[in-house]
Chain A
């Protein structure tokens, strides 16, 4: 079975500092996509960043970047220059294969606290 695991229930970071959230996954598929979603207190799920497994280059979106280690099945999210608005629950998610494109498997989530 395909799984996504986030082993850090909670993390905290000082404003303007950098924090890394961990995510590991398990699959035998060769074609898959990985995502990080942010869920602030409003509960809205917001896509932060995505990575295609066939791409070796790590995805970046402004202050957000990933460290995709395919052999280790690891997909961590780095947030640089943390801001108070980054405080939220972060979910790692994956989609496997080339079929149904909306069936995502989510990790358990990491709550990020940003300290002023």
Chain B
């Protein structure tokens, strides 16, 4: 089991370009979450997706950011017209479908994608 796979690990973009970050959840996991970690801070929730559905995007900036989790393929976090403030580590996590007996799902995190905007 390869775990949660994120790529690229490092991405450098110039201001105004687009950034695409990909996340493949653990095998058998149907829930994907994206978090952002600014330097010297904890992780902040961005969005929660299931296949073809956005369940909770309350942490997503209103503009330039979008996320999808298609029926086939990885989840994508897309940042359009990047600015320097978007420089951060972006983490993806996945979990299996929750059951009442399991309580809160334990998230399995990927190693993150570090975005640097020049």
Query: Using a CB–CB distance below 8 Å, which chain A residues touch chain B?
Result: 4, 33, 37, 42-47, 50, 52, 91, 93, 95, 100-109
Contact = CB atoms under 8 A, between A and B. Distances in A.
B28 to A, nearest CB: 15
Interface of B: 31, 33, 35, 41-45, 48, 55-56, 58-59, 89, 91, 93, 95, 98, 103-107, 109-112, 114
A44 B4 CA distance: 10
Q: Name which of B89, B109, B111 has the most chain A CB atoms within 10 A of its CB.
A: B109
B42 A42 contact: no
B104 A91 contact: no
A42 B41 CA distance: 16
Given A100-B55, A103-B56, A95 B104 contact: yes
A52 B106 CA distance: 12
A13 B41 CA distance: 22
Contacts of A93: 42-43
Contacts of A91: 42-43
A97 to B, nearest CB: 9
Given A44-B109, A45-B109, A103-B56, A33 B104 contact: yes
Contacts of A44: 109-112
Nearest to A37: B109
Nearest to A4: B42
B102 to A, nearest CB: 9
Contacts of A46: 109
Given A91-B43, A108-B41, A43 B112 contact: yes
Contacts of B95: 101-102
A108 B109 contact: no
B97 to A, nearest CB: 10
Contact of B48 (A33, A102, A106, A107): A102
A100 B48 contact: yes
B18 to A, nearest CB: 23
10 smallest A-B Cβ distances: which pairs? A106-B42, A45-B109, A33-B104, A102-B33, A101-B105, A95-B104, A106-B43, A101-B104, A44-B111, A43-B112
